[in-house]
A and B are shown apart, each in its own frame.
Chain A
Amino acid sequence: MQSRISLGPHAALGVDASATPEEIRAAFLGLTKTFHPARFGRMSIEIQKLSNEVFLGIKGAHESLLKTLGVPIRAPASGSGSFPRSASPPPERTTQRIPQISKPLTPAFGVKIGARPSTPPNLPPNPPSAPPAIPSPPAGQPAPDERLELQRALDLMTARNWSAARQAVTMMMARTQPPPKQYRALLCYTRGREAQEAGKQEDAVMEMQRALQFDPDLGQAKAALAELLRRR
């Protein structure tokens, strides 16, 4: 997603150069539902920070496109339903005289001065070829057959054969009722990978989020989510 944002505001929102304010707004609202940092509020600090950067990019794209079109940024009044609203837009800030910081009297205290992180925190690189770690078997000892099946599904994932892996997981789930959360997480993960390969970034992110909802410790889904947020 971050590289998509770097391609400019239209690419970031996934709209045409000729998009209307309504289309821009709709694209922004759609992406907000998937990428708002609140969606990542229970994940690691790194993912939270990354999601913050991604959302700032989406928000910035929305604001800059609407500004170019001369449309107020906030939601329209429901009564009118169309842009621009009757009420006047917020006053534009004009260039001001540069304010001055007075000479300090004492050195810093109370707050830590750290090195400036110029870019969002670097997550450990996760090359697409990295084999997924084998998750521990679900609660209770799975039958030997089930173990073999699980291993087969994981092998398919390592081979990045997502649709076959998804089918394997579905089969396992059909046999164990109710299906353990871990399988459901793997199903979401494979579906997410399929969506990712089909270029459906938002769907992929949503599937990964669901996967983590079922199994917060699923390392592959965490890595995939970070990867999705970072690049297209």
Chain B
Amino acid sequence: MGRVIGIDLGTTNSCVAVLEGGEPVVIHNQEGGRTTPSMVSWNAEGEVVVGAASKRQMVTNPTRTVFGAKRLIGRKATEVQELASRLPYKLVAAKNGDAWVDIAGTPRSPQEISAHVLAKMKRVAEDYLGQPVTEAVVTVPAYFDDAQRQATKDAGKIAGLTVRQILNEPTAAALAYGLHHQNNQRLAVFDLGGGTFDISILAIENGVFEVLSTYGDTALGGDDFDRVVIDLLADEFNAANHLDLRRDSVALQRLKEAAERAKIELSSAMTTDVNLPFIAAGQAGPVHLMRELERGQLERACKPLLDRLEAPCHKALADAHCTAADIDQVLLVGGMTRMPAVQERAQKIFGKPGSKNVNPDEIVAMGAAVHSGIMGGELQEVVLLDVTPHNMGVKVAGDRMSVVIASNTSIPTRAKKVFATTEDNQTFVAIEIHQGDDEHASKNRRIGRFVLGDLEPAPRGRTKVEVSFTMDADGILEVTAVEVGTARAATVTIEASSGLTAEEIANLGMRVAR
């Protein structure tokens, strides 16, 4: 059996690690970097360029360079409309309504785009190990739903990888940290990445890592901070020159690059220069954008984003039935936690400073490698008990969601609930399974539907159906419905669909993994 690698498939950057002698080791890519930009472009010849090379040509090839595919994966075009207006590349709706990217007239799924990044990470690991790699543990934000997880798995398949486990990013970080800090303690993992914010509360007890609660915001990350800087610069420029730089994809791309750089520099310096000569053509010739940006300005502009960090933390603490004082250690994960204002906010919420001795860009991939060791048996003394991040339930009369497995239930788990018919002589019931936290079923994501038929005709409310949900440690749900008092039953395994058929996955696999 070959090795299982651990991949952190990030919004902005990805990282791959492998377990060597019981220790996770981050692998350098062919360019010498420990992380690889999660960017994919198609050049004029139609060739695919991935990683740093793709990032380099982003400014000259903005409409065919895709960044942040993770924000699109497993989502509907209608859900990402707001994002579309600010991207230099074009979003389209696939036949099934999924958000895809239009590259020079060819629609491409986010799964395919992410597969190119995963295939690159696979090659990096193969070069290092000197042997083929076919299995991986891939991390996703804890707050990803079923469709997003399945789509990530499919991306792995396209890249020629069997994804042995989809692991939650904050949990992975805790595993990597806890490998050398196994004393019994409570951890808060504060994970602000390029695209998502996750907060998880864990207890480490005798080598068992138990997730107590997890909460997050899938639409809050470094990209949003970049955008605040872009807007700040572009609004000012517009006021002075009556030119909106956001309307020109090349100017927008240059602005984005400069904004990201300025944001990063302001984490260590108090001021930085933004210098974009010849950014646009005005009536009186070329116009330049040159100004000094101060840390205070950045922090003031980002205050609404920083405020959004608080509620999920308090919710996670409440769900874990503990207070900030019960937390022994705060782990800061994700590149955005380098920003002093983010660190201050985390300290304000938890009453203690965050960890200083972890690398926020690499710890998630290292945790994925640790988990591969748990699966492979190299690490016998550590194991992980994770939770399901969303409510799972059944749609009942009045579009209500009747929750069968509540969010933050530790998995695997099994739960049952009895339902009654609403009409006289009803001979079948449709069981509609939804995932999400809204009390109205239709506002949550429907993940499956099946029918239990041939019921005994009886007055309404007399016939009872017991619905049982079994969720395995991978989060795969199986639902069984039984008519109480008879043996009539139906079972369905919810095979979350990422929107691609097995055939499409196989065809894409031939192209990507070549």
Contacts and interface: CB of A to CB of B under 8 A. Distances in A.
B287 interface: no
Contact of B419 (A55, A78, A98, A116): A98
Given A113-B451, A115-B491, 8 more contacts: A29-B208, A33-B380, A33-B381, A99-B394, A100-B396, A101-B419, A108-B450, A116-B482
A216 B448 contact: no
Interface stretch (B334-342, B349-357, B426-434): B426-434
Interface string A74-86: 1101110100010
Interface in B393-448: 394-398, 400, 402, 410, 412-414, 417-423, 426, 428-431, 448
Contacts of A38: 165, 371, 374-375, 383-384, 473
Contacts of B417: 99
A101 B465 contact: yes
A206 interface: yes
A21 interface: no
Interface in A26-42: 26, 29-30, 32-33, 36-39, 41-42
Contact of B396 (A56, A102, A212): A102
Given A74-B210, A75-B203, A213-B376, A104 B429 contact: yes
User: In which size bucket is the chain A interface?
Assistant: 35 or more
B215 to A, nearest CB: 16
Interface stretch (B116-124, B288-296, B320-328): B320-328
A39 B326 contact: no
Contacts of B186: 77-78
Nearest to B423: A103
B472 interface: yes
A175 interface: no
Given A59-B412, A101-B397, A79 B205 contact: no
A100 B376 contact: no
B183 to A, nearest CB: 8
Interface of B: 1, 4, 135, 164-165, 183-186, 203, 205-208, 210, 212, 320-323, 325-326, 328, 371, 374-378, 380-385, 394-398, 400, 402, 410, 412-414, 417-423, 426, 428-431, 448-451, 461, 464-465, 470, 472-474, 480, 482, 489-495
A39 B184 CA distance: 22
B473 A37 contact: yes
Nearest to B452: A113
Interface stretch (A87-95, A135-143, A152-160): A87-95
A39 B397 contact: no
Interface of B is mostly: strand
A75 B396 contact: no
Contacts of B473: 36-38, 52, 55
Contact of B414 (A56, A110, A114, A115): A56
Interface centre among A85, A89, A116 (most CB of B within 10 A): A116
B149 to A, nearest CB: 15
Contacts of A42: 1, 4, 135, 164, 375-376
Contacts of B328: 78-79
B276 to A, nearest CB: 49
B423 to A, nearest CB: 5
Nearest to B319: A90
A38 B135 CA distance: 15
A116 B480 contact: yes
A107 to B, nearest CB: 6
A25 B208 CA distance: 11
A209 B373 CA distance: 13
B321 A101 contact: no
